[in-house]
Each structure stands twice: as structure tokens, then as C-alpha cells.
Amino acid sequence: MSDAPICPVCQNAEGGSCQRFPIHNMDASTFQCDVCGQYEASGLIELTRFPSLNSMQRALLSHRLRMKSSRGEPFRTTPEWLDDLFSNGSLPSPALQAANLARFAGDDVTRSGEPIALLPIGIHAIIGAPNRNTVIRLTKELVERQVLTADPLGTAVSTDPATGHPRQEFTNISLTLDGWERYEAEKRGQFEGKYGFIAMQFNDPELDPFVEDVVKPAVKEGIGYDLVDMRNVTQAGVIDNIMRTQIRDAAFVIVDLTHDNPGAYWEAGYAEGLGKPVLYICEETKFEEARTHFDTNHCTTVTWSRDNADNFRQALIATLRRSLNL
């Protein structure tokens, strides 16, 4: 059984349609929205939480649901998840939205072999933009910056929901040669915004498993970034140059100072000099007893201990979100 309601999240403000499938024996439904993807919500959430959202909250929710729904199973919303989303979450920065748009174009053109005739109805939710007007502005800017190629559509095919006026859409959207080079570099993971780099002492029996079991998974789950160290980098070449490239292209650098490793301090300085967000971590006892080098001990340092990984995880993610404006 299904009917054709308005999506309680995006309200189909940018068009598209939504289907509702009541879940058997439960006061809950699965929604299938052209913009937000597939998600589940209880009757209570639908009644008490969705109606009071403002437009930015709707855009954020729509984007997160869309990302989750691309992973398969319909995502079940809960009051706790919504609370966390609206107190800690935000849409990607405009720069990241633009990078997402270029990536979407590259993926789509690669798949179909043809330029994009018209951006899909849910494009703003896919790239994390507040609305379609923003996507159109970003498209224009990416064309000006010679990342995208696109032709203005002669006939107006969509209406600005804010003003009711027809708006200029684009057709024949693809990447320029520069755009493709960027796209391919990104596919290789060498593009800012894809990964973080961790500088640390290797082969320590306590730190190694802590980084593998706690730090890397926390970063992946908390903000969706891979965290790589030099050992994950398998390209051949001069090790110093590879490291510089890895740091240069990383979105942020985490430096573990537990062992006062000179290499880690050097990497921290290099990253700071490039203006990267650098975040220091240190084993708790070492930090309390010996502090770290005087140049860094006033910087944000998140301390860790094997026995209290949960606190560390939370503090690390909160600090990363702040540094990266997530």
C-alpha cells in the first residue's frame, strides 16, 4: 500500500515526489523521496519533530538522509540521532559543496559516457547545498573557474520556489580537461578533503594498536575521512617527497607527541606552515607528567589512554569538527 504524500523532510520544495510505505504493525513508515532518498520515521517523529524544522535544518537532514540511503538499507531516524544532528551537524562548506558537485559530474559522465542533460532533482541533497539555487550558482562559478563545461538551457525548465520566477538551468554539463585531472587526482585520494594524515612514532606496542583500533575508526565514523600514515602509502619514490605530498594534500594532520618523535614534530611544523589544521594528541600520563615540546604545549592537545578510549574518541571528533568547520 502506498500513496503520494509530501515528503515530511524536504516537503518536495524543489519538486520531485515522495512515496510512503507504512511499516506493518508499527506506527512508522518508510519514505521514498526523489530528493532525500529512502528513510524510516515513526509517527511520533513525523508529528512532533519534522513540522517545526527550519529550511536549513531540512536541507541538512535531507543531505544526511540522502548520503545514508546511498548505502542501501533505509535509514531509521530516531529522536537521539536528530538531536545530535541538529546540535553538532552542519552542511558541508561551499568549497566542499563545489568539490562534491564536480565529483558528481565526473561520476555521472563516466557512467553514462554523455554530458549531463539536466542536474537531477535531488542534486542539492546529494552535494549538501541548501537548495537548487545554490547548486546553479556553484555550477556557474565552476564553469567560470574552468572546472566544468555547461551550456545555459534555452528554455526555462524550473521555477525558483522562493520567487516563483523561472530560473536559468544548465545542460551539457561535463568536466573540462583541468576538471578531469582534478577528478582523477581525487580518485587517487590526493585531493584535499578526502583524508587526514597522522604523524607518529611507529612500532610502539601501545600506540600502534591504539591508532589502528581507536583513532582511525573514530575519524572514519565521526567525520567520514580516512586517516592515513606513511605506512599506508605504497607509491614508490623518495620517501620525503611522498610524505610532503601526503601532508600537502591532506585535509588535516593529527600528530601524536607521546614519544617526542622528532619526525612527528617536523611534520607538524610543515603542516602548520602550509596552514593545515593540525591537531595534537598525546598519551595522558606522558602529557601530564612531562608535557610536550614548548612550541606545541599551548596548542590543542587531545590526550588519550587505552582505558578511556570513549572520552578520547568524543573529544577528538569534536575538535576535528571545529577545526574543519564540519
Please report, as ranges, the residues that interact with Zn ion according to CB under 5 A: 7, 9-10, 33, 35-36
Q: Which is nearer to Zn ion, 10 or 257 (CB)?
A: 10
Minimum Å distance from CB 175 to Zn ion?
Answer: 28
* Shortest separation between residue 255's beta carbon and Zn ion, angstroms: 41
Q: Identify which of residues 9 and 320 has a Cβ nearer to Zn ion in the complex.
A: 9
The identity of residue 6, as a single letter, is: I
| 199 phi/psi in degrees, rounded to 5 | -100, 130
Alpha-carbon span 280 to 257, nearest angstrom: 7
Which residue number, 6 or 117, has a Cβ lying nearer to Zn ion?
6
- Burial-class residue 5 by CB neighbours within 10 Å (0-12, 13-18, 19+): middle
Which residue, 9 or 59, is less far from Zn ion as judged by CB? 9
Q: How far is the CB of 36 from Zn ion (least distance, A)?
A: 3
β-bridge pairing 28-33 and 37-42: antiparallel
Nearer to Zn ion, 33 or 317 (CB): 33
Give min distance, CB of 17 to Zn ion, in A.
9
Nearer to Zn ion, 112 or 159 (CB): 159
Closest approach of Zn ion to the CB of residue 291, in Å: 51
Nearer to Zn ion, 38 or 261 (CB): 38
Nearest-approach distance from CB 55 to Zn ion, in angstroms: 13
Rounded to the nearest whole angstrom, what is the least distance from the CB of residue 285 to Zn ion in the complex?
A: 50
